[in-house]
Amino acid sequence: MIKSKNPEKFNYCKFGTYTDKDGRTKELVDINDKVISGYEMFQAVVSLDINRDYDKRLYEFLKDHPLIQGKFTIEDVSSEQQRKAENSLHSAKAITTASQLSEKDMRDLALLMGIDSSLEEMLLRAKIIDFASNNSEKFISHLEDIDKEHRVFLKKASDKNILTKVNGVWKHGSLNIGLNDDQAIVWLKDNGDVYALLKHQLRTGKIEKIEEEKVEKQSTISNSTLSELENDVEPIKVNS
């Protein structure tokens, strides 16, 4: 589609042969494969069908034309329609998935999306469906995140002070376990026995004794190094 930016005052315009930014002569070829002097436009808005040979030639001829710049807009409507269709399908998939989530999965996802997970089930489902409708890509990325379980655990453990976050650094007691969420998740994976005990503590509220020395030896992150970084650098901003 070609559209004048000032349709009320538009009367006529001819787009003649021109030289593009690479110094090549751009000529328009008609339906009989003959070079013509240009394109004459008599209406403020002209629709093109890119699937037709001549309309495609016209679009390619006009898209970089000097007269287009500033005075007209030109777009491939079919591509825009395809993009909108794909977005609609993506959004529909997200909404359908959101509507079928179990209550537990909803409450876990709500923590990652910044939605109040304590809401009554029906209201929470409505908010998650709304999120999926308006942010389908983000919703799907949360849902398919291979580290979703650990990210949810970090949120819950922080709320219960099982793990703490000081200046963006995750801590288990006095032990630094990660400068950000991703590093903390690596620590949890590398220390599976400790992670299991922490999950048990989260579920039951019972504090299990954990051998601190064993944990420090298993940790892949240097506690002294992280302590130095904490003291030497400004607080780290982390997207949770």
Q: Report in angstroms the alpha-carbon separations of 74 from 11, 70, 126.
A: 18, 11, 40
Residues of the chain with pLDDT under 50: 213-214, 217-222, 224-226, 228-230, 232-240
Q: Where would I find the beta strands (DSSP E) of 81-221? A: 164-166, 169-172, 175-178
The domain limits of the chain are: 2-75, 80-145, 149-232
Q: How does DSSP classify residue 9?
A: G
Q: Which pLDDT tens digit goes with each residue over 44-88?
A: 988 888 788 898 899 899 988 998 887 888 876 666 666 777 788
Return the pLDDT at 226.
Answer: 46
**196 HSE (CA, 13 A, CB side):** 4
* Residue linked to tokens 């537990």: 104
Could you tell me which residues come within 8 angstroms of residue 68 by beta carbon, excluding any fewer than 6 positions away? 2, 15, 62, 74
Return the pLDDT at 234.
Answer: 46
pTM of the predicted structure, to 2 decimals? 0.55
Q: Where would I find the beta strands (DSSP E) of the chain? A: 2-4, 13-16, 18-19, 25-26, 28-29, 35-36, 38-41, 45-46, 72-74, 164-166, 169-172, 175-178
Q: Quote the CA–CA distance of 61 and 71 in Å, as a whole number.
A: 16
* Residue 170 contacts residue 212 (beta carbons within 8 Å): no
Which of 182, 162, 160 minimizes the C-alpha distance to 172? 162
CATH topology (fold) of 149-232: Rec A Protein; domain 2 (3.30.250)
Q: Give the strands of the sheet with 2-4, arranged side by side.
A: 45-46, 2-4, 72-74
Return the pLDDT at 77.
Answer: 66
Return the pLDDT at 73.
Answer: 85
* Residue linked to tokens 């919703």: 139
